[in-house]
Amino acid sequence: MAMQSVANRSEEAPAIRGSNHDLWIGGKRVLTIALDRGTKGYPPHAEQCLELNNMIQGLALAAKAAVYQAENDTAGKSELATQSIESIADAITLLSQLSVAVQREIADVEAGRV
Tell me the DSSP string of 26-49.
STT-EEEEEEETTSTTPSP-HHHH
pLDDT tens digits, residue range 76-93?
A: 677 777 788 888 999 999
pLDDT tens digits, residue range 37-51?
A: 888 888 899 999 999
Instruction: Read off the DSSP letter of residue 114.
Output: -
Residue 56's pLDDT is 96
- Tell me the C-alpha distance between 113 and 97, whole Å: 21
pLDDT tens digits, residue range 100-110?
A: 999 999 998 88
- Tell me the C-alpha distance between 29 and 65, whole Å: 28
- Out of 14-18, 19-23, 29-33, 44-48, which region has the weakest mean confidence (pLDDT)? 14-18
3-state percent breakdown (helix, strand, coil) of the chain, nearest 5: 55, 15, 30
pTM for the complete prediction?
A: 0.73
